[in-house]
Structure 1
């Protein structure tokens, strides 16, 4: 390995002396965000899935448990974490992502212990039609102002 690095370093040094371009060094892309943040027309800044669909928590669940199964999960789709995928919040968002195991063995994403769901009542990104007596959007603490807006 050492024999291969020395010629590369020498080539970079020579290129620098003569003002030649440096060889490109690939910087690894960070893993995708697990959740994102968006502003809604009715309920403020909320957590969303990567496609911009509002995420909800269910009041009848306790931290670390899943209560929305069967027909409930037909209308409130759990946000699942693919095996081996890193959990990532947007920069500046307070809180903790985790997972809880669903009865079918899938790993559902949690925010501060609450399992996260999308509502089939929401037709597109930014909709909040799934909010009701027991289902609530998640308004993250310390959410930064999205780029291109004023706060």
Structure 2
């Protein structure tokens, strides 16, 4: 084995480690073709939110039933971004649409909010 192959191997390992560290920082992940939060709860979008507007229209009582998925300090890259909530906190967005979980989903895999009032939708591939 020569020095070039050792350096290349090290670079590949560092890249793989960097990508997995990034994925671990993200507050959502894909499971069975849909997005879930860190607790495995289904993630939704709301039709009244406009992609790319940088805002969530779900506030007050709405946000008590449809809890915003917070971005925290995660390092984000496309298709993920953040929107600024009225209280100054950062909510995670997917393709520019803010993300939420639903209060009536009690365990991972529940999708009680899907198609609720034809305005709430699970986030799928």
1:79 aligns with 2:69: yes
Q: Is the Cα contact below 8 Å between 2:36 and 2:42 reproduced in 1?
A: yes
Secondary structure of 2:30's counterpart equals strand
Runs of 4 or more above 2 Å deviation: none
Offset at residue 34 of structure 1 (A)? 2.6
> In the aligned structure 1, how far is the partner of 2:30 from the partner of 2:40?
8
In structure 2, how many angstroms separate the alpha carbons of the residues matched to 1:36 and 1:100? 19
1:38 aligns with 2:27: no
Partner of 1:53: 41
Return 5+ residue gaps in structure 1 as ranges.
1-26, 40-44, 89-94, 141-151
User: Which residue pairs with 1:118 in the alignment?
Assistant: 101
* 2:119 matches 1:138: no
Q: TM-score with structure 1 length normalisation?
A: 0.62
Within 5 Å, which residues of 2 pair with 1:6-25?
A: none
Q: Deviations over 1:89-131 (max 9, x none)?
A: xxxxxx6000000001000000001000000010011110011
Q: Aligned residues, how many?
A: 103
Which structure would you say has the larger Rg?
1
Q: Tell me the TM-score normalised to structure 2 length.
A: 0.74
1:42 corresponding residue in structure 2? none
The structure carrying a bigger helix percent of its residues is 2
Segments of structure 2 that go 5 or more residues without pairing to the other structure are 1-16
Deviations 1:54-104 (A, max 9, x none): 00000011122210000000000000111x32136xxxxxx6000000001
**Superposition RMSD on alpha carbons, in Å?**
2.0
